[in-house]
Structure 1
Amino acid sequence: MPAIEKLDFSVIESLSKVLGETASGFTGTEIGKILYESNVDDIDSGNTKWKRLNSALANKQEQDRCANNVLLFVQNSLNPARHYDNLEWFNDTRFKVNQILSFSGLHLGENGKIEYVQKSNTISEAAARASKLKEHLVARNVHPDVLKYCKEELVVDNYFHAVFEATKSVADKIRNLSGLHTDGAGLVDEAFSFKGVPHLALNTLVSESEKSEQKGFMNLLKGLFGTFRNTTAHAPKITWQIEEIDALDILSMVSLVHRRLDKAIQAKKMYEGKM
């Protein structure tokens, strides 16, 4: 591999702090193992984890006069095969590492390999928020219709507008499937009501269990609109703060709704087609 230009010592220090973070970073034993795998001498094993890493990586870069083995350590640390059972930690840590690497024109891909990118001089907090939110949602395997709301312009201050737009997308899908033009709880009642043939049905609605499922889904939709969409539509943004963990849970719920709607039967159209 061609020699990769040396990293600034501040980049190495920041990487060491992320990967050697006390609470959620690697254990001392894991650090020793990965340093060995990366051809990096563990010259300061008695120190705290991040300082131990910083000493080893900075020393190796000076010996080699290039950053190849430092970046090999990063790749080995964030090899996806090591973290198959902890995707949230993997995505969160890779996000932090990429913030740091961007100042050197480098990026760690989802496959755990280093690649070149345009060098950053500053990091947009909104872009960082959007990228991190999307990575977490991808790890949760959310519906594609939800991912499109992970946009920089929607998370400038917090996750308020991402949630707002995502919940609006549920009503849009119901209208598209049913041909109705109402909104909110009225739309839910009109689309899924048992009075006559409903516009949309989750199942055949023959058994009591199937009818209960339909009623429960209607209540879920009304709760989603009433709790999140209506609140976000009318409350000033500053009084309705949504943190990342809340946004992830809300958007996961929206994902579930989209999947159920994708499988819904357009009962009214089917019934009218047989007349």
Structure 2
Amino acid sequence: MGKIWLVTGASRGLGREIARAAFDAGETVVATARSADGVRDAFGSDNDRLHALALDIVDSEAAKSVVAEVVARFGAIDVLVNNAGYAELGFFETFTDAAVRRQFEVNLFGTMNVARAVVPHMRERRSGLIVTISSVSGLVSNAGGAVYSASKFAVEGWMEGFAQELAPFGVRSLLVEPGMLRTDFMDQKSASFGSIDIPDYAEAIAQYRAFVKEANGNQPGDPKLLAARIVALASQGEAPSRFVFGDDARQWASAKVDQMRREIAQSADRG
């Protein structure tokens, strides 16, 4: 039967590719999305190694219920892929407070809900891997990405510390930080823009929206390749704690590291 995988946000995009890659590798996959029908539309009907379940990750009780159902049926969850999320793309002042809080409710607190439900079973077995789909935007922020990056920076900080808490119990962590992937992440199914009109930002926002429209569907990163890499890393006994995927992501992350080195050195020079 192989390992038991639980993948959130599996009806489309990277989550769908990860679920498919794990299944093709002989693993048993429980694929979740807010609608189980959405998962079945992507994969077809359930079979011995592929099961679709409905899960809205912001519902902590639903997360507990799904995890209990999976453990009761299969006896374990070996790999959790915390993938579900979306992006608020736009300038910070154009977002309502409710929109910003919703971004954190899904990307951070929803991800925490699923981990909180799964981890006790992994600790009990002294085994397991948590794959958290972050983004290079969890390392580097820019104009138009402040709110989304803030949620991913928070995910990074949480998992970096949580991973150290879990390590003594044999539970491993992999933070995945992709660059721009050719998925529907930038279309209206996954991305949302600010609703407050601020004339000072009008020209910059128009340019940013044009960039997003042009980039959508033309991103350099191959989600199938990333999915295959994640499945391969999950099979290793000593997987890295971070995996930066894509030339764009590595360039941005390296530039950020170089900038931080310079600023740290400058701070020392100034006493």
The TM-score by the shorter chain falls in which range? under 0.3
- TM-score calculated relative to the size of structure 2: 0.27
Name which structure has the greater RCO, CA cutoff 8 Å, separation 6+: 2
Structure showing the higher helix proportion among its residues: 1
Structure showing the higher strand proportion among its residues: 2
